[in-house]
Structure 1
Amino acid sequence: MQISAAERAPRQAGSDPRKRRRAATICLPLAVVAIGIAALGVGRYSIGVVDVTRILLGQVLPLDPSWSQAQEAAVLRVRLPRVLLSMLIGAGLAVCGVVLQAVFGNPIVSSQIIGVSSGASFGGALAIVLGLGSAALVLGAFGFGLVALVAVFLTSRTRGPAPPLTIVLSGIVVGAFFSALVSLLTYLADPYGELQSIVFWLLGSLATATYGKVAIAAVPVLLGGALICALRWRINLLSLGDDDAATLGVRPARLRWTLLVAVAAIVAGAVAVSGVIGWVGLVVPHLARLWVGPDHRLLIPVSIGLGAAYLTVIDTVTRNLGAAEIPLGVLTALVGAPVFLVLLQRNRKRMWSE
């Protein structure tokens, strides 16, 4: 049965990439800002959107204060660092998912697949067991995340360029090794002291967000994200295959490892300040791909915005859902797994065939 031209026109108009690009570039930034302002006002001590906006503008403009000192403290000292950190980590994990799925040509690849999350988890857990303080926890998570990447590089080296499957298998092995070390530390930790801290940190949380942690996460996330954005048009060439990409002037092996280093820096920086937060790098790229298609020149910026908004919403729910705060990593899994299954069943062809 053939479809008439009149019936095809609405579909073509609805899938016009120019309209989707316009909607993504205009609506998404406004939505991210709106979600951030709303998150600053939501809590057990509720603050109106107008007051939140005036408090923020009052830091740069000479506005007469119509808000109380308690409201200003709640917004600027308690909630703003947490919202900024959730946006940074959400954007970073989302862009990591996009890059890894493109590099390996596999729609179910995430940051855990290359072992960086497991390495960073071990570094943070080791600092907790040794009682070295928060600074050592951040440095340990970041350092062992990079150690995991180097281990993947060394174990996947061949005489020629390392194929993606070899890198994936090396990442699984390295991740399993560091996961075993984390289990060992969990077993050796004091059940009435360090064990509780390790378990809570591994589940992922932004409850201890501060401006210092925002600065720590911002360095690797922004630098790695800027590098990925600068190379996003080259990522499209990887989908053509190594031979065609090399013909067009791209060195696939070098580009692949450059992207993996950027991903490792982002993931290690995120894990260092928030613990392990899963499913963001798996669900958000698929949502973005359904919206704007597979072109990474637009897909990566859209994933960044969606990731920031997604994790901010989830974190706002975690701190207001009950009397005791639910770990962020638990809720992202509870929400992400069903959403991913629905997307997979309804749009498995569209996600990668456009």
Structure 2
Amino acid sequence: MSWGTTGVRGLLSIRVGYGVLAVLLPVTLVLALGVGRYDIPLSHTLGIVLPPWLGLEPWWTPMEQRLVLWGRVPRVLLAAILGAGLAVSGAALQGLFRNPLADPQLVGVSAGAACGGVLAILLDGSGTVLVLLSLLGGMAALYFVRWLAHSGGGESILTLILSGVVVSAVFGALVSLAKFVADPQNQLPTIVFWLLGSLAAADYPRLWLGAGATGLGLVALWLVRFQLHVMSLGEDDARAMGLPVERVRTLALLAVALITAASVAVCGVIGWVGLVVPHLVRLLFGNHFAAFMPLTALLGAVYLVVVDTLARSVTDAEIPLGALTALVGAPVFAYLLRQMRRPGEA
């Protein structure tokens, strides 16, 4: 499969894709607000989320209203925003590295952000400290990746990937050491659960942080979407067309780092979203660069909202989100790999 051409056709047209996802996303959001260990009727959920200036007489209970507005609204919206950001980040890296297996964890940002968050837990820091150290850890990981990649006198795709592997290994080792020295009664369970990924602690401050950081990253990736498309054809071709390859790559990596670090900061490590969703979009709707990024964002939002809803409603005890995305994503990705190997397809 070619990662840069616009000729890759999907099973559905782009217009159908926009129509389906534009309807599916709000429907998924509303349904997710009513589903959980305490189910709320759809009519009650709709009444709660309708604008208050309509002056509707409540037919729902105060407890249902508190649960929806203060418990589920920030969680569902945060899942949609992070899903969109992680999916677009994966799509950007796959085009940038010309590698269908690329995702935000490839450049070491997830490992760095995880290390920063674990350090905050060891220091018994507040939620704000955890978020700040996670962001700093993610940005530090990106700095070391770029430093290593430049140390050889240039910065190729191969050196970036290898640098990401090295930095991920180092920060992963630091996380393992942190687990070793953590208090086994209090700190260690918190570290383990946080690293597995969960939106259980979602609230409005985390929502604003996740939305702000993810929004900035998505805007930056949107501004360089055409340049990323050209670079996916090859760096030599991009330079021949006069594109500032180093500048575009730096901006794209910073945007991906910001989105990934914010995701790890507010809900822990969540993998596979940036790997699976772009492939689903290519399979369903093709690879037209003008529509690929918006469709990826919409489907990523739907995907993570659905997975998070399953995580908090399938069993009495909440399933870690990172584990569930792996369980759901790995078989889907294996199927997509098989589809990519069909006869007649490169």
TM-score interval, smaller chain: over 0.9
Quote how far apart the aligned CAs of 1:262 are. Answer: 0.3
More displaced 10-residue stretch of structure 1: 136-145 or 22-31: 22-31
Which residue of 66, 70, 88 corresponds with 2:63?
Answer: 70
Report the counterpart of residue 197 of structure 1 in structure 2: 190
Query: In the alignment, does 2:41 pair up with 1:48?
Result: yes
Q: Deviation per CA, 1:138-163, whole angstroms, max 9, x where unpaired?
A: 00000110000000111110576411
Which residue number corresponds to residue 253 of structure 2? 260
- Quick check: 1:87–1:311 contact (8 Å CA) kept in 2? yes
1:346 to 314, 339, 343: 339
Of 205, 209, 212, 1:212 maps to: 205
Aligned equivalent of 2:96:
103
Q: 1:175 aligns with which of 152, 168, 178?
A: 168
Measured after TM superposition, the shift of residue 344 of structure 1 is 0.9
Match of 1:119 in 2: 112
Asked whether 1:336 is paired with 2:329, we answer: yes
Aligned: 1:148 with 2:141: yes
Amino acid across the alignment from 1:345: R
Partner of 1:315: 308
Offset of residue 77 of structure 1: 0.9
1:281 counterpart residue number: 274
Q: Is the 8 A contact 1:124 1:140 kept in 2?
A: yes
Equivalent of residue 186 in structure 1, options 161, 172, 179: 179
Please report how far the alpha carbon of residue 218 of structure 1 lies from its aligned counterpart in structure 2 after TM superposition: 1.1
Between the two structures, name the one with larger relative contact order (CA 8 Å, sep ≥ 6).
Answer: 2
Structure 1: which amino acid aligns with 2:292?
A: L
Greater C-alpha Rg: 1
Change (3 A) 1:44 1:158: closer
Amino acid in structure 2 at the alignment position of 1:173: V
* Deviation (angstroms), 1:349: 5.3
Q: How far off is 1:17 after superposition?
A: 7.5
Is residue 298 from structure 1 mapped to residue 291 from structure 2 by the alignment?
Answer: yes
Supply the AA of the counterpart residue of 2:147. Answer: L
| Percent of residue pairs bearing the same amino acid type | 45
Paired residue secondary structure (1:124): helix
Is the contact made by 1:123 and 1:144 (CA closer than 8 Å) also made in structure 2?
Answer: yes
> What SS is found at the alignment partner of 2:57?
coil
State the alpha-carbon separation in 2 of the partners of residues 194 and 275 from structure 1: 15
Q: Kindly tell me: are residues 19 and 202 of structure 1, through their superposed partners in 2, closer, same or farther at Cα, counting changes over 3 Å? A: closer
Cα deviation 1:145-185 (Å, max 9, x = unaligned) = 00000001111105764110000000100110000000000
Residue matched to 1:11: none
Task: Confirm whether residue 57 of structure 1 aligns to residue 55 of structure 2.
Answer: no
Contact 2:103 2:274 in 1 (8 A): yes
Q: How many residues align?
A: 339
1:118 corresponds to which letter in structure 2?
A
- Consecutive unaligned residues of structure 2, counting only runs of 5 or more, are 1-7
1:65-104 deviation digits (Å, cap 9, x = unpaired): 2222112111111111110111111111111110111110
- Provide the secondary structure at the position in 1 that maps to 2:270: coil
- Do 1:58 and 1:65's aligned partners in 2 also have CA atoms closer than 8 Å? no
Q: For residues 239-277 of structure 1, give each alpha carbon's deviation from its aligned partner in whole angstroms, at most 9, with x where no partner exists.
A: 222222123231112111110000000000000000001
Does the C-alpha gap of structure 1 residues 276 and 351 become closer, same or farther in structure 2, counting only changes over 3 Å?
farther
1:164 aligns with 2:184: no
Q: Take 2:107 and 2:198, find their aligned partners in 1: how far apart are those partners?
A: 22
Partner-residue secondary structure (3-state), 1:323: coil
Q: 1:349–1:158: structure 2 CA closer, same or farther, 3 Å change rule?
A: farther
**Any stretches of 5+ residues in structure 1 without a counterpart?**
1-14
**Equivalences for residues 222-261 of structure 1 within 5 A:** 222-261=215-254
**Aligned partners of 2:110 and 2:345: how far apart in 1?**
26
